[in-house]
Amino acid sequence: MATENNNLSEYDKTTIPNAKNFRFGIVVSEWNESITEGLYQGAIDALIENGVALENIIRWNVPGSYELIFGSKKMQEQSVHAVIAIGSVIQGETKHFDFVCEAVSQGIKDLNILHNVPVIFCVLTDTNLQQAIDRSGGKHGNKGTEAAIAAIKMADLNTKP
């Protein structure tokens, strides 16, 4: 397991680019809300800790992870430097999990290829609720924090000639 014994929230702040002049969009799935709100909080905390003003962060909610693609596409039009797509898909008894995970990952990949505003994939795809809890502020830290750091780095990269 990739995150076993790793805290996703740990990073060296001295290696993070200055983010005070960047604007970020965060699109949050309402499905599995207790998980996505934890991820959102991790992202917000990391952005603010690295100099982003609260007024430079736009949040939109969408019904589920599948809708993150359209929400992120529309967010790219809002003069932001990067978008963070936050969702949580927990495996059930049907193949629905597979279809949603594949569509969302491919859709966000496509947005990164087709548009000039990076979209960060912060969608947990877990086997059970405990795994999601562990990665949204639990024993493995917070994947939202990791996504925010990636967003800052990608926003900075996108400003390079």
Q: Can you give the residue ranges of every domain in the chain? A: 22-158
Would the pLDDT of 93 be above 90?
Answer: no
Overall size of the chain counted in residues:
161
pLDDT value of residue 147? 97
What is the SS3 assignment for 98? Answer: helix
Rounded distance between C-alpha atoms, residue 51 and residue 21, angstroms: 8
Task: Examine the pLDDT at 4 and tell me if it is beyond 90.
Answer: no
For the entire predicted model, the pTM comes to 0.93
Looking at residue 96, its pLDDT comes to: 86
pLDDT tens digits along 108-137: 999 999 999 999 999 999 999 999 999 998
- The answer, yes or no, to whether residue 62 has pLDDT greater than 70, is yes
User: Which H or E run contains 99?
Assistant: helix 96-114
Supply the residues annotated as catalytic.
Answer: 96
Cα–Cα distances (Å) from 89 to 30, 85, 132, 134, 149, in that order, read: 11, 13, 9, 14, 22
Please say if the pLDDT value at position 3 is more than 60. no
CA distances from 131 to 60, 84, 126 (A): 25, 21, 6
CATH label, 22-158, candidates 3.30.300.210, 2.40.30.260, 3.40.50.2000, 3.40.50.960: 3.40.50.960
Cβ neighbourhood burial of 121 (10 Å; 0-12, 13-18, 19+)? buried
